[in-house]
Amino acid sequence: MGNSVLQSGAALGAVITPIIIEMCLRLKFPEGFSHLEGWRSSFLIIGLTGLLWIVFWFIFTKDVDLSPQETQKEQNSSSTWNDLSDIVKNRNFWILMLTVLSINMTWHFFRAWLPLYLKETHGYTKSQVNWFSSGYYLASDIGSLFAGFLTLRLAAKGFKVFEAKKIVFGTFSVITLLSILVAFMPAGPLFLGLLMVLGFATLALFPCYYSFSQTLTKKHQGKVTGFLGSFTWTGMFIMQIGAGLWIQGTENHYTQLYLGQGMLQEAAESLAKTKSYTLGIALAGIPPIISFLAIHLFWNPKGSIEQESH
């Protein structure tokens, strides 16, 4: 539940951001400051919010003790290389690597490409996409919180905690498969509603992942989190470049195809845009179910690094 609340904060920011952008696009500054209108004002607002956040951070953390809890003897008991060796030899670590890569592929594909998909494939305006984005991230926020709540309820009903987490992760992994259906749907309320369900399910996977990673180790949690985070963002860098090349290549292919059928250039390009995202949207919801199967089949509930070292 704690992980759910933490993750919901990121989604809450995403809910507010499109609204701020809409306001900034309509904002009028006094004479002499007109160069700040439009997208520049959004940078000002975000920067000032960050400065305000720093003030609150120092206020609320001034009495927090962040000193290491381990004794010096425990810190020196093994070298960093031995610590890393313990991590990479653990089977659950590699399952976590597959899991974090899978859920981020789904989340970040939709985060990056959904606005363009709505505009270029389905003809929604920039303003409509901004307002939809707020709804999409609000649904994601609710999904994140619901994952924690559902896990608590299942545990209260008598399920073991690990099994409760696995059920929640598996349930939302199945829901992300709706992307296959959404990719071939026409624009309309049902289409937008199912996209929100996808957002609801996708972000709900993250608290589950964090919870799984926190069972791997107590002593080396920082190393595990840092390593997996670095791996994830490297993977996302490659994935987004690949997605962009695929979408552009698909659009070019269909443009040439329609031109060969005698269409005018503008009509061919417009129709090609409606085809360029289809396969990516369909495939984007599949990775989480693969990671769920890995957790279900291969995860060792007693395979923490500390237990294995003993």
Residue 199 near residue 137 (C-beta atoms within 8 A): yes
- Mean pLDDT for 13-20 is 77
User: For 208-231, what is each residue's pLDDT tens digit?
Assistant: 999 999 888 877 788 888 889 999
Alpha helices in the chain (DSSP H): 2-26, 39-61, 72-75, 80-88, 91-116, 126-156, 161-175, 178-182, 189-214, 221-260, 265-276, 278-284, 287-298, 305-309
* Class for the domain spanning 83-309: mainly alpha
pLDDT band at 70 (very low <50, low <70, confident <90, very high): low
- Mean pLDDT for 246-257 is 93
Record the pTM. 0.82
- Mean pLDDT for 129-133 is 89
Q: How confident is the model at residue 305, as a pLDDT?
A: 66
DSSP state string for 125-144: -HHHHHHHHHHHHHHHHHHH
Q: In terms of pLDDT, which residue wins out, 88 or 209?
A: 209
**Helix 80-88 and helix 221-260, axial crossing angle in degrees, nearest 10:** 50
Residue 104 near residue 232 (C-beta atoms within 8 A): yes
Q: Is the pLDDT of residue 153 over 90?
A: yes
Which segment of 25-34, 87-96, 131-140, 202-211 scores lowest on mean pLDDT?
A: 25-34
Task: Return the domain boundaries, the chain.
Answer: 83-309
Q: What is the dihedral of CA 35, 39, 41, 44, to 10 degrees?
A: -120
Choose among 161, 196, 198, 157: nearest CA to 176. 198
- In angstroms, the Cα distances linking 215 to 161, 165, 303 are 11, 12, 9
Q: How confident is the model at residue 254, as a pLDDT?
A: 92
pLDDT band at 129 (very low <50, low <70, confident <90, very high): very high
User: For 193-203, what is each residue's pLDDT tens digit?
Assistant: 999 999 999 99
Quote the CA–CA distance of 16 and 38 in Å, as a whole number: 17
